[in-house]
């Protein structure tokens, strides 16, 4: 009897301990540390526009210049008294990155050699290029008579068009222009008249001198950010 009472008492204590333990364990505190990181970004603005007018858009070399000079073959031509714009490039924008603008040019002059006296039996040919090229207001005129001098003239024109690369910082507005024009003066000058005529005669014989200018403008980001 006594033993049964002790067993019941022990069982009761065990149940009480279990209940107490369950209740206490549910109220224990614990260490917690928390934080939230959040951010949002958009793509940095570029927004550069490069507008280049070439001879297809802007008729830099023409098939006819009023009624005074006209190509019967419907080809673009140059002649004494004609002029025009070789290329016109405008660059605009305010990017949010560092950037640079670089121009390069390739001027090709072919066949600008004349026979001064018109007699093929005498070796008195010379280089003659009567077209004046103006780069942003700076006139470039060829005054030599040799191919090496013409090559130097070509390099000078290309350098004037290309110039130094221009650098800009993020947020800086670029409003850059490149204007290249040309003219073949119509003037009364016996020596020039003779040479002009020789060029025209060579063209009529199927050996026309040609002029071609290609200009490239590249605007690009200059920095990378880690």
- Residues 61-82 have pLDDT tens digits of 788 887 788 888 888 899 999 9
pLDDT on residue 34: 85
pLDDT on residue 204: 93
Q: Please check whether residue 45 is in contact with residue 99, taking contact to mean a CB–CB distance below 8 angstroms.
A: no
User: 12: pLDDT confidence band, cut at 50, 70 and 90?
Assistant: low
Distance, CA of 3 to CA of 5 (rounded, Å): 5
Range among 8-12, 148-152, 175-179 rated most confident: 148-152
18-32, 62-76, 209-223: least confident range:
18-32
Burial of 48 (0-12, 13-18, 19+ CB in 10 A): middle
Longest dimension (CA), the chain: 152
CA-based torsion, 55, 61, 110, 131: positive or negative: negative
pLDDT on residue 27: 61
**pLDDT tens digits along 29-59:** 788 888 888 888 878 778 888 887 654 445 5
Residue 210 bridge partners (DSSP): 110
Tokens 């050699």 correspond to 113
Average model confidence (pLDDT) for the chain?
83
What is the SS3 assignment for 192?
helix
């Amino acid at each position: 009897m006594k033993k049964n009472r002790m067993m019941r008492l022990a069982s009761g204590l065990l149940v009480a301990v279990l209940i107490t333990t369950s209740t206490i364990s549910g109220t224990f505190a614990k260490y917690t540390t928390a934080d939230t990181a959040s951010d949002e970004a958009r793509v940095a603005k570029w927004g550069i526009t490069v507008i280049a007018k070439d001879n297809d858009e802007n008729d830099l070399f023409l098939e006819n210049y009023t009624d005074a000079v006209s190509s019967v073959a419907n080809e673009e031509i140059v002649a004494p008294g004609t002029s025009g714009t070789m290329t016109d490039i405008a660059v605009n924008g305010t990017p949010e990155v560092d950037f640079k603008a670089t121009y390069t040019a390739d001027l090709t002059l072919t066949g600008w050699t004349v026979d001064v006296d018109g007699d093929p039996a005498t070796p008195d040919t010379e280089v003659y290029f009567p077209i004046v090229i103006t780069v942003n207001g700076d006139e470039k005129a060829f005054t030599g008579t040799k191919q090496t001098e013409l090559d130097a003239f070509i390099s000078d024109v290309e350098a004037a068009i290309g110039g130094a690369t221009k650098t800009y910082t993020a947020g800086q507005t670029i409003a850059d222009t490149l204007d290249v024009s040309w003219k073949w003066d119509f003037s009364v000058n016996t020596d020039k008249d003779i040479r002009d005529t020789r060029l025209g005669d060579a063209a009529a014989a199927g050996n026309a001198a040609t002029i071609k200018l290609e200009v490239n403008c590249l605007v690009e980001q200059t920095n990378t950010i880690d």
